[in-house]
Chain A
């Protein structure tokens, strides 16, 4: 199973701003380097970029959840 992991600890967000749509939805295909989420660390927002291409099978964390370094955040299916 391919997953995308959090590179830093913080608060996980699936959208660029509360009123904006999610970066990517379940089932959508993504390519390496694409921004798929944000992690807020000490009030600064850091983009989470996909380190592999594929289809988003599911997000393993909810919007607003706390994540730790190395935690799986997205499970990818076949590209």
Chain B
């Protein structure tokens, strides 16, 4: 591996280019019409225009990316996150073209991208999954299944998704009426009346474990992150380590993630996501087979450079450390600064970034793909920058976060900065007592 094509844009493209150059690798950036002036375009060794601004015509166009790699003599592709990073078809095109893909194999991406196959892999690895049933055809079957799963349950349409086709049921009495209604709804909405049951979990936290696995079969974790501060399933604040976890739960959840990675023969960096209930039970949700937006908080508390490990692993080298070398030192929080208007239902706010003064000082890292004068394009996601604030303990990390928000000046577009200022002072957040519905309850959608 000598020259890496970075098949992404913005801050993650900058992050990958930095890691590649530090490892002595050459880089090729790609850009759409809207991104010709992008910071990553300037930082890379060379850059190739791959198409129009709409992502479907540029960053999602695998043929254009393969051609860009061929043109520039790149021998590897780093997908970043989003875009093509978890699309098995595109990854197969890259590898068929003789390129090294910085990520797991096509079959691993396929397995973990299929909800049923991923649950089955977790079950085999002895990793707990949300208790649920198979399809239930009639009320008698549903009652038996629900006793097994435990109330309250959710009745879910098999063909549903993204939060649609879900009906909460508190008791046996309710289930008798709810089942036919759910089946009718499912038939109307999805032309398929198959429904199944899942345990309803209230007040759960989103805990995810960062893992790395190499071709020699070494699998390690770099501990967990708590990403419970979410809005419409979009993470806004993440922390490492998860606050208030017992040593036992921490060990169990991290080991469970490693078991699952081993079970599927994982290679590369990945994240295993769990729900952690108030009673301390945890359940596997899904695995992300790529680097994640919030990876820097794990780097901040462990000292591991996750992107450089990705590159090592892709080049066939072993992970540069062993599990015993990894310790949590202090705490870190990531604040996502998005071009969204928190006073206006988080409406996306593309526009011209007239000013961008970044914070600094000990324990403050800023990852961004923008400089003042850039345009925040309507074509891509709304993230302007990530503030990663760390310290010897959680209180210091949060205090540095508050100071960083005071120093940060973003002008030209409304952003989530004001929301972060408010959230860092919320007693629940200070106490580490938030769950995945917390932010939506605190800041309900305008109706």
Contact = CB atoms under 8 A, between A and B. Distances in A.
B105 interface: no
Contact of A9 (B52, B378, B382): B378
A8 interface: yes
Contacts of B57: 64
Nearest to B346: A44
Given A10-B379, A42-B380, A66 B350 contact: no
Given A8-B378, A10-B379, A11-B379, A42 B54 contact: no
Given A10-B378, A11-B379, A42 B348 contact: yes
A64 B54 contact: yes
Contacts of B440: none
Nearest to B56: A64
B339 interface: yes
B350 A41 contact: yes
A20 interface: no
A1 to B, nearest CB: 26
Interface residues of A, number: 11
Contacts of A10: 350, 378-379
Contact of B348 (A11, A41, A64, A66): A41
B72 interface: no
Contact of B382 (A11, A42, A64, A65): A42
B133 interface: no
Interface in B343-357: 348, 350
A66 B56 contact: no
Nearest to B351: A9
A9 B53 CA distance: 12
- Of B340, B379, B380, B382, which is in contact with the most chain A CB atoms at under 10 Å from its CB? B379
A9 B339 CA distance: 14
Contacts of B56: 11, 64
B54 A11 contact: yes
Given A8-B378, A10-B379, A66-B379, A42 B350 contact: yes
Interface in A1-22: 8-11
A41 B378 contact: yes
Interface string B376-392: 00111110000000000
A26 B339 CA distance: 36
A57 B53 CA distance: 28
B380 A66 contact: no
B381 A43 contact: yes
Nearest to A44: B348
Given A9-B378, A42-B350, 17 more contacts: A8-B378, A9-B350, A10-B350, A10-B379, A11-B54, A11-B378, A41-B350, A41-B378, A42-B339, A42-B348, A42-B378, A43-B380, A64-B57, A65-B54, A66-B52, A66-B53, A66-B54
14 contacts: A10-B350, A11-B54, A41-B378, A42-B379, A42-B381, A43-B348, A43-B380, A43-B381, A64-B54, A64-B57, A66-B52, A66-B53, A66-B54, A66-B379
Interface of A: 8-11, 41-44, 64-66
